[in-house]
Amino acid sequence: MYNHAKTGYQHWGVDTEDAIARCAAIPLSLHCWQGDDVTGFENPGGALSGGIQTTGNYPGKARGKDDLFKDLDFAYSLIPGKKRLNLHAIYGISAGGAAPVKRDELDIVHFEPWLAWARGRGIGIDFNPTLFSHPLASEGLTLSHPDRKVRDFWIRHVKATRKIAAYLGEQQGSPCLHNIWIPDGLKDVPADRLGPRERLRDSLDQIFSVSYDRSFIIDVMESKVFGIGLESYTVGSAEFYLSYAAKRGLYPLLDNGHYHPTELVSDKISSVLSMFDKMALHITRPVRWDSDHVPLFEDEIREITKEIIRCRGEERVLIGLDYFDAGINRIAAWVTGARNVQKALLYALLQPHDELKKLQDALNFSKLLVWQEELKTLPFGAVWEEYLRRQNCPGDWFPAVEQYETEVLRKRV
Ligand code: RNT
Ligand code: ZN
């Protein structure tokens, strides 16, 4: 079937061997937080807050570091391609099970176990400060809070996480993506929109007054349109961070759940790449709003990956996953979303982009439309199967997850 597919694609000028090799080299940063519904290790019973929410109570949530390491290993074994790990600061590990460290006192030592785990597997780590699920974030305001003491606490936290990220990047020999996302916003109509944004700008200026070697850390900031309970105003909007990043020589992160429903991230990538040498993505699936459902193999995901490939962005667009479904088997959620993004990357690599661009530039829109439609039914499945085979990844993987659920997940209480 693969050989048949290979010939079929050749007819359209596409080399399936080249696509398979390139797909295997594109790093995908897997979010650790799907494993425990964004709980972290600070307070196992703690509730998620900050305008984001998980719903569902499927059995088998990771109860701590041992469960999470085990689940990650299992999930990674079912996902093809080059993987990284995206960690949040609330997953710090205190020595000998000591009490969790305050967020503004987090240090390198609390992430050494993660570094050891990742090193043994050839995985690079990306990192995020956690500015939610905390008493000092309970009003939905952190780096833009009117109280200087609250802002100072969070500035110290992000300074600490950047130091950790730079250390991780240095140790692992590949830059650590450090992404700042804050929930800051208001539920109801603001009386002052500028004040909080000026305070956020000032907090960021203090944070970025410390510089690190850019081969160790890549600094990005993630914008948003609204949060749950923070519907009327978001301090860190798209325009705010894009301007800030451009002005300070930093980078934006675009989460495809953070825009109005008819605004598409696939259309934004080329705009950002024409001004920045790099950018980052959070791939998720919004359903009506930023709902963080498991990504599917659907049009917009394919359009995003096609843009990455067309813009020769394989090394410029840093791809991370961001979704959290507590209503289904969490391993199945992780693996389905990650495999779908891999699938979409392979699909995008199997398009004759140069030919299609030529048709566009020749204003041959009839042929362009016909080709784009005919390409959709080429035997993609056979190339995907072959890619999985070469990656030692099962095609039919769900039975292993069902077995893991019975033997491991259902025994957790
Ligand atoms: C929230 C942002 C953010 C978080 C993670 C947990 O809307 O998308 O990326 O999902 O930091
Ligand atoms: Zn996100």
Nearest ligand, measured from the Cα of 128: 1
Q: Are 87 and 32 in contact (CB under 8 A)?
A: yes
Atom index in ligand 1 nearest the CA of residue 33 equals: 6
Nearest ligand, measured from the Cα of 34: 1
Ligand 1 contact via 110 beta carbon (within 6 Å): no
* pLDDT for residue 413: 84
Burial of 213 (0-12, 13-18, 19+ CB in 10 A): exposed
Residue 356 is encoded by which pair of tokens? 């299609």
How far apart CA 29 and CA 321 sit, in angstroms, is: 6
pLDDT per position as a tens digit, 297-347:
999 999 999 999 999 999 999 999 999 999 999 999 999 999 999 999 999
Please check the confidence at residue 282 and state whether its pLDDT lies above 90. yes
Q: Residue 99 — pLDDT band, cuts 50, 70, 90?
A: confident
Please check the confidence at residue 397 and state whether its pLDDT lies above 90. yes
Please check the confidence at residue 393 and state whether its pLDDT lies above 90. yes
Q: Are 58 and 406 in contact (CB under 8 A)?
A: no
Structural domains for the chain: 26-353 (3.20.20.150)
User: Is residue 184 classed as helix, strand or coil in its secondary structure?
Assistant: coil
Please name the residue whose Cα sits nearest to atom 10 of ligand 1: 322
User: Is residue 125 classed as helix, strand or coil in its secondary structure?
Assistant: strand
Please check the confidence at residue 204 and state whether its pLDDT lies above 90. yes
Question: Sign of the C-alpha dihedral, residues 217, 220, 221, 224?
Answer: negative
Ligand 1 contact via 128 beta carbon (within 6 Å): yes
Residues recognised as catalytic: 181, 222, 224, 255, 258, 282, 290, 292, 322
Average pLDDT, the chain: 97
How far does the chain reach from its first CA to its final CA, in angstroms?
45
Q: Residue 25 — pLDDT band, cuts 50, 70, 90?
A: very high
Say how many Å lie between the CA of residue 255 and the centre of ligand 2.
5
Ligand 1 contact via 180 beta carbon (within 6 Å): no
Half-sphere exposure of 89 (CA within 13 A, CB side): 30
CA torsion 261-262-266-272 (nearest 10°) is: -90
